[in-house]
Amino acid sequence: MPTPTNNTSTGPLPDGVLSLSAPAKINLALAVSPPEPAGSPKPGWHRIASWMVCVDLCDDLELRAISGPSRFSVRWADDAPRPTPIDWPIEKDLIFKAHALLEQAVGRSLPVEATLSKRTPVGGGLGGGSSDAAAMLRGLNRLFGLGLDRAALSGIAGKLGSDIAFFIDDDVMSDVARPALVSGFGDVIERVACPEEDVILVAPDFGCPTPDVYRAFDSLGPGPMREEAVRELIARAEETGEIPITDLFNDLSSAACAVRPGLTKIMREALPGTQIPIHITGSGSTLFVPFNVPDEPEAINRVADLIEQTCPGVVCVLSATLSGESADDEQGIDVDENGLSG
């Protein structure tokens, strides 16, 4: 039962490498609309309203400016909770695509040696690839002194995927974005509050292909959009200082379970004889259990052990939601308007 490395600050290594963290995210609540009709600007697309928050399970991205050409490598960190084969060409990885798009946007070469050490499971609905891409954009911006603001970086991010802009906050130096209500087609980001609470991430030994989940969602006959329900949950959390764990919801849960029936089994059998809720994040397959029992710190370990005992093949990761308020933006290498200066 791994505990993630809580590495949420940007800083230099002794040899001048810029080190960034790329935190995973969970969707505490996710409302999804029926697909846009034919003849609309984005036919077949879905509007969302999601309460998203970073957690302290992080990938690490190291960047070093070189004379060129750029070099990229992706590997699993030694403490990765659910490593799987890295069986895609580097040209398909979002850090490569983010680098290429930023070079195109600024009209200059940005030669780097990039090393990505992954911990976030692939295909788990935790936004690992999206966060990696955001870290690449933020890191290059800092390393080469490009001076791009959030709007500029988010515009580039939007060409790669709908989740990436969430990970780029107003303070573009910060590794940890603040929680947000993400709406529209993932392009409307309203920063909101979220209490910092423990959470158990439950990683099955299978993933959920997002396109398959959305096709299943459409076939199940989706109901009306529930954005106001998401806003009500956020308001309650701001008022009480606690995540309303029993009322969280995900409109993609049934579709994800249809694509991967093993999720239904986990949700039904993971916590027998308890009233502890378990939820799916994003399009799956990762599940999460919000946990706020400050008077009994060992309780979270017992619950995680119970899940692993009742659901062979799953891995539980002890994590926590992050407010993004305390990220230290004073560390790191110095840059000036012309690029690297120290």
Residues noted as catalytic: 25, 163
Question: How large is the angle between the packed helices 128-143 and 94-106, nearest 10 degrees?
Answer: 40
Secondary structure of residue 273 in the 3-state scheme = coil
The residue type of 31 is: A
DSSP 62-130: EEEE-SSS-EEEEEE-TT-SS-----S-GGGSHHHHHHHHHHHHHTS---EEEEEEE-SPTTSSS-HHH
Secondary structure of residue 260 in the 3-state scheme = coil
Strands (E), 99-214: 112-118, 180-184, 188-191, 198-203
* Cα torsion 63, 67, 70, 71: sign: negative
